[in-house]
Amino acid sequence: MALVNEHFLKLPGNYLFADIAKKVNAYQVSHPKQKVISLGIGDVTQPLCPAVIEAMHKAVDEMAHKASFRGYGPERGYNFLREAIIKNEFLPRGIHLDPNEIFINDGAKSDTGNIQEIVRWDNNVGVTDPIYPVYIDSNVMIGRAGVLENGRWSNVTYMPCTDENGFVPQIPDHRVDMIYLCYPNNPTGTVLPKEELRKWVNYAIRNDSIIFYDAAYQAYIQDDSIPHSIYEIRGARKVAIEFRSFSKTAGFTGVRCGYTIVPKDLTAVTVDGKTRVSLNQLWDRRQNTKFNGTSYISQRAAEAIYTPEGKEQVKATINYYMENARIMRTQLTKLGFKVFGGENAPYLWVKTPNNTSSWKFFEQMLYGASVVCTPGVGFGPSGEGYIRLTSFGDREDCKEAMRRIADWMLGSNK
């Protein structure tokens, strides 16, 4: 008899964004002529930049000729992309990496969900709260999270990030084996100053912990004092794995390409405490078994964003989204909302008025303004009473959404 993995049965019935889609579909059935504007799901809307399109066309043409055709690529990724990443992303910040510390993937979501496979199932987990759902759900699937009780998992340490603490998570007063940090943060759009990030690295060193650092939105940082990489902190190579993505940086949500950095200095200990094992080697072994590498065409596309033309074009797209964020932040603040984020990240974290619950306000905005947001509670207990908005929409849709929200809010206050 084949037995099911019962840890999957512990998961909530639907993924957060599936629940949102279901509610939006129900609204559109009853309002078929009304255009719905989505500021909820963080998908991009602007096309790939010309340098990327040119590189993809060239790569496709190469696949049409025997001399330049490529089949299976290296599991870690092609050297041309890994070397471009080091030269353009890390060396300018004084960070020296070996190409074999970089693993090209099909997007950061895959690796942030899979990375927990290389450490023991009974490690405990610490997360900032609110948090990207994949971090917790992937640990639930392996049996590491414990039991869900009153919206919290029993083997997870929650580190609230709220208005009251300036969205800076407090260092735990006990040892946590695995720590998930995401900065700039999804969903709150807030950032972590270098001095605060240094506290986490020091904590991990003292406690022999591992930090899983999701830097998928680092390209949106506008403040030069904010770290783009955890490896800007001394000692981080010994305790941290970093995830990067081209999805939001260069519009690759449909192209699928990102990368994970697993330093050779990073080790974990066996259960008897006698042997330290290289996690770089373990992740390489895992990838060799379960992953056949990112497509050659996607990797050539990613390489193109590091050309002089590519850099300027990608920067222009990022500026476009950040201008959307500025427009949204300005208008919402004028309407009396308390707004966080949107200054170094493409996400805005908005306090619901009158302590309205997240899902209730989601429905009020949907039915009152035909605008979709993401309920904050879907990201964790501390997200209750907030909604997340994204700036990845089209400019005219963004402006129209703000006009609708203004009309709705002003009308409801009469």
pLDDT in tens, 328-367: 999 999 999 999 999 999 999 999 999 999 999 999 999 9
**Neighbour count for residue 334 (Cβ, 10 Å):** 10
pLDDT of residue 336: 97
- Rounded Cα distance between 317 and 249, Å, is 8
- Cβ-based neighbours of 380, under 8 Å, separated by 6 or more: 127, 129, 130, 131, 136, 158
**Neighbour count for residue 288 (Cβ, 10 Å):** 13
3-class DSSP assignment, residue 79: helix
- Rounded Cα distance between 134 and 156, Å, is 14
Cα distances (angstroms) measured from residue 309 to each of 43, 211, 216, 271, 316: 24, 35, 22, 51, 11
- Rounded Cα distance between 197 and 137, Å, is 25
Q: How far apart are the first and last CA of the chain?
A: 64
- Rounded Cα distance between 94 and 60, Å, is 35
Cα distances (angstroms) measured from residue 3 to each of 6, 8, 366: 8, 12, 42
Q: Are 250 and 302 within 8 A, CB to CB?
A: yes
Cα distances (angstroms) measured from residue 312 to each of 308, 317, 319: 7, 9, 10
- Rounded Cα distance between 216 and 60, Å, is 27
pLDDT of residue 366: 97
pLDDT of residue 412: 67
- Rounded Cα distance between 364 and 281, Å, is 51
- Rounded Cα distance between 326 and 336, Å, is 16
For 387, the token pair is 């909604």
Strand-pair partners of 104: 259
DSSP E strand boundaries for 102-185: 102-105, 125-129, 148-149, 152-153, 156-160, 178-182
- Rounded Cα distance between 197 and 231, Å, is 10
Q: Which domains does the chain have, with CATH numbers?
A: 15-44+315-412 (3.90.1150.10), 52-306 (3.40.640.10)
3-class DSSP assignment, residue 318: helix
Q: Are 395 and 63 within 8 A, CB to CB?
A: no
pLDDT of residue 413: 59
Burial class (CB in 10 A: 0-12, 13-18, 19+), 414: exposed
For the question of whether the overall pTM of this predicted structure is more than 0.85, the answer is yes
Cis, peptide link before residue 193, omega less than 30° from 0: no
Q: Which residue has the tokens 């619950």?
A: 357
**Amino acid at site 21:** A
pLDDT of residue 410: 87
pLDDT of residue 77: 98
pLDDT of residue 41: 81
* Interhelix angle 308-334/50-62, nearest 10 degrees: 140
pLDDT of residue 356: 97
- Cβ-based neighbours of 269, under 8 Å, separated by 6 or more: 208, 275, 276, 277
Q: Which residues in the chain show pLDDT less than 70?
A: 13, 412-414
Q: Are strands 156-160 and 125-129 parallel, antiparallel or unpaired?
A: parallel
pLDDT of residue 150: 87
pLDDT of residue 50: 98
